[in-house]
Amino acid sequence: MNRSSELYLFDELFRQKGFSALCGIDEAGRGPLAGPVCAAAVILDPTEPLEGLDDSKKISPRRREILFSQITAKALAFGVGWADEKEIDQLNILQATFLAMHRAVDQMGLAPDLLLVDGNRDPGFSGIETVCVVGGDRQSASVAAASILAKVSRDRYMEKMEEAYPGYGFAKHKGYGTKEHRQAIVEKGPCPIHRESFLGKILSGGKK
């Protein structure tokens, strides 16, 4: 059995329990110093399996782009939701992630009857049964598909931010706290898409 088949089998076990609109949810961008957190929700068509589906972190950028196109073309429904850096600073990253997940589900246009959410924290969807799956993007086809949509969507956004705010290297590191990115913050100061609540140690010279 290949990797994709294993992921689809995980989802099929839930469909056999009567859940026909099985929705995978995952996020990208909880850890970066800049930019929004992005979440995606996907209801795959089990009659249209996608070859090569896997955790977005385990496949190449080029393969992610190909799968992004296939998922958006063949899924029964999908949605992408965002919470920006200001909402992250106001709410904290966990609550902002949950907000992005709710927005992603709201974008779908098809009501799910089961949510498979990557991780161990319940986002609190009212009236929809939710199963938290630790390492869900490595177990469930639906969650893996959501991880790809979230990752590609956010990467594309951060590449555009390289043009809006040059000199930070957003196209390369996508806002994560690389040595080069931290140094740019020290030299240039933060830009409007930096998360102020994430920058304390950097702006204080590491004294906090």
Q: Is residue 200 part of a domain?
A: no
Q: What is the pTM of this model?
A: 0.95
Q: Is residue 164 part of a domain?
A: no
pLDDT tens-digit profile, the chain (208 residues): 577 889 999 999 999 999 999 999 999 999 999 999 999 999 999 999 999 998 898 999 999 999 999 999 999 999 999 999 999 999 999 999 999 999 999 999 899 999 999 999 999 999 999 999 999 999 999 999 999 999 999 999 999 999 999 999 999 999 999 999 999 999 999 999 999 999 988 987 654 3
Q: Is residue 73 part of a domain?
A: yes
**Structural domains in the chain (count):** 1
Q: Is residue 179 part of a domain?
A: no
Domain that holds residue 67: 3-158
Q: Is residue 103 part of a domain?
A: yes
Q: Is residue 175 part of a domain?
A: no
CATH code for position 57: 3.30.420.10
Q: Are the CB atoms for 140 and 24 separated by under 8 Å? A: yes
Q: Is residue 194 part of a domain?
A: no
Q: Is residue 149 part of a domain?
A: yes
In 44-126, where do the E strands start and end? 77-83, 114-118
Which amino acid does the sequence have at 9? L
For residue 58, CA distances in Å to 48, 137, 144, 168, 170 come to 22, 10, 10, 26, 21
- 70-105 core/surface letters (b: 16 or more CB in 10 A; e: else): bbeeebbbbbbbbbbbebbbeeebeebbbbbbbbbb
Q: Are the CB atoms for 105 and 122 separated by under 8 Å? A: no
Using a CB cutoff of 8 Å and minimum separation of 24, what contacts does 12-19 make?
12/46, 14/114, 14/116, 14/131, 15/46, 19/113, 19/114, 19/129
Q: DSSP secondary-structure letter at 163? A: H
